[in-house]
Amino acid sequence: MSISRPIPPLPSPDAAVFLDFDGTLVDLARTPDSVVLPPELVPVLRSLHILLDGALAIVTGREVAVVDRYIEPLRLPCAGTHGAQRRDGRGVYISSPATDPTKFVDAIVQLAQDNPSIFMESKKCSIALHYRADPTLETLCLQAMQELLLDHPDWTLVRGKYVVEVLPKGASKGAAIKAFMQEPPFKGRRPFFAGDDLSDESGFGVVRELQGVGIKVGAGMSIARHRIDSVQDFHRWLHKACAQLQAMRKKEVMR
């Protein structure tokens, strides 16, 4: 059931904008490597980054290096692998202490081999099982991951749309946004965060605590106070945000 929520306001020049990637900037696809980035998106992100004086960051389940490849030549501040990796506004790279998921690989590889509809995504700081090709495999994937973590209390489980993932404990999009907000150029600004999935809810919670704007993209329950119906509608919102910020900057220059 979807709850009607107001369209979000546009950011002012003193905003800090945080954006999820899959399901927010790009439509979800059958596998992570088959998403398509619209060609006009990189110029919009570049403009927003300039207009916000650098206070624009990607906060995603993807690895930072993967995001870089999609949005090159941009190198935005970025929290990857749900916050287990982070590149701050100065370009300094920070990683979670518990970052070696290789102990889980053998069991997960076997599960994927036994079930060809499961796609295993191996990252430096996590491992994810995608079952979008066969949603009936949700319980199998969830139980397998839960069993893996029984003897590893320094790791945790995060769920998303047709995906379940093991992460270093303490890593979350909310924690990443909170860290960004304590540093320049984000510090002292009003945060905006747009996301579409369960893993984005921690980010919405932090943004709410900071009197910011949470934007749920697509259907589904959420604590975000604002909603945009689709990725395409969110792209239109980004274009409007750019236009308003440009107009405000021009007006300020003319004073």
Q: Identify each DSSP E strand in 27-80 by its residue range.
A: 56-59, 78-80
The answer to whether 18 touches 203, Cβ cutoff 8 Å, is yes
Cα 164 to Cα 76, 204, 237: the distances in Å are 26, 20, 30
Which of 20, 22, 88, 197 is catalytic? The answer is: 20
Q: Which residue has the tokens 């969110």?
A: 234
Q: Identify each DSSP E strand in the chain by its residue range.
A: 15-19, 56-59, 78-80, 85-87, 93-95, 119-122, 127-130, 155-160, 163-168, 190-195, 213-217, 226-228
Strand arrangement, sheet containing 213-217: 93-95, 85-87, 78-80, 56-59, 15-19, 190-195, 213-217, 226-228
Active-site annotation holds for 106: no
The full length of the chain comes to: 255
The residues that are catalytic are 20
